Amino acid sequence: MSVTFCPLRNTAVVFDRSVDERGLDFGTTGKLRYSDLVVYDRQTESWWQQFLGEAIIGELVGAVLKVVPARIESFARFCARAPEGRVLLPNSPASLLFRRGASRDRAARSCGDSRAQAWSLDLVRERVAMRVLDDVIISWEAGQNSALGAGVIAEACDVGNVVAQRETADGLIDVPY
């Protein structure tokens, strides 16, 4: 798996990092395209659009990484949901380049697959839970502050915990969003 984060867009996306059964390792180019981070793979040096997981330059141009369902949630909520969960800590302290500025509380969330759509976070927050795409439920719960709204996360606006799940015969399963 490859976990990516674009601080400008406040987007985290998790991908299966294999293409044609070859595992790829990723790094950041330090470049932006459409205000979104561009990453590269160390094996072919192809450049990839972070939000879409699509190779845009190089040997693998046109290849698309599979998005893996993942949650962006507060640490407290993670601990409550997965008490035996493991957390990766960086070797050295880091700070976000874009940590000050406008609040990100109006960000749109997209959901699903080829039927992907987007909804404003204001709408999701207002409805608390809403059915979309016939079989997907998006829910919102308070308790997660934006990593970008202030120098100290605890002082930033509460963007909430958003979860997108598909209804199946076996119950709800997380879907990429």
| pLDDT tier at 47, thresholds 50, 70, 90 | very high
> Taking the CB of residue 56, how many other CB atoms lie within 10 A of it?
15
DSSP string, 134-147: TTEEEEEES--B-S
- Measured distance CA(86)–CA(46) in Å, rounded: 31
Question: Contact at 8 Å (CB) between 140 and 160?
Answer: yes
- Measured distance CA(130)–CA(139) in Å, rounded: 6
Is the pLDDT assigned to residue 119 strictly greater than 50?
Answer: yes
pLDDT of residue 113: 52
What are residue 6's phi and psi, to 5 degrees? -110, 110
**Which amino acid would we find at residue 70?**
A
Is the pLDDT assigned to residue 16 strictly greater than 80?
Answer: yes
Question: Contact at 8 Å (CB) between 88 and 5?
Answer: no
pTM of the model: 0.71
Strand locations in the chain (E): 2-6, 11-16, 18-19, 22-23, 26-33, 36-41, 47-49, 54-57, 66-68, 108-111, 117-120, 129-132, 136-141, 161-168, 171-174
- Measured distance CA(148)–CA(156) in Å, rounded: 7
pLDDT of residue 74: 82
